[in-house]
Amino acid sequence: MNWLRRFMYGRYGLDQFTRALIIFSLILSVITTFFRVPGLIIIAYLPFLYALFRALSKDYQRRTGENNAYLRLAGNVKNKLNHLKLWLVGTKSHKYYTCPKCKQTVRVPRGKGKIAITCPKCKNEFVRRT
């Protein structure tokens, strides 16, 4: 194991983006085995090769920047999906509406009938059924 420690000394290693690339590559490989699309296996290996390049790289600054960009993008996607889930499903106790004037999302309690909702941002009042 000492030779591996010496080899990896000064190298970037694994981070979240590298792990995501490996998982994406594995998913593409599984899809390739089921659908037998010629040439798709080459495309499945590309993210894995890039992940290997990232793990063995010695350019910390560039790899850290790539990982930070990935984390920002993944965070934005996660927030959008959570917002979409709340918008479609809502919760058992609240409904979500958008202000027609400023497009601010407003949360109101369910089961109150037809109510006048005041937007906290622009103070516009609109009527909706909860």
76, 92 Cβ separation under 8 angstroms: no
Write the CB contacts of 104 (distance below 8 Å, at least 6 apart in sequence): 98, 119, 120, 121, 122
Does the pLDDT value for residue 90 go beyond 80?
A: no
Does the pLDDT value for residue 67 go beyond 90?
A: yes
pLDDT-derived band at 92 (thresholds 50, 70, 90) equals: confident
What integer pLDDT is reported at residue 27 of this predicted model? 93
39-78 burial code (b ≥16 CB/10 A, e <16):
eeeeebeebbeebeebbebeeeeebeebbeebeeeeeeee
The model's pTM is: 0.66
Give the helix ranges, DSSP H, for the chain: 2-8, 16-35, 40-56, 60-88
What integer pLDDT is reported at residue 49 of this predicted model? 96
Write the pLDDT tens digit of every residue in 100-129: 999 888 989 988 999 999 999 999 999 999
- 3-state SS, residue 98: strand
Instruction: Select the more confidently predicted residue: 89 or 75.
Output: 75
pLDDT-derived band at 8 (thresholds 50, 70, 90) equals: confident
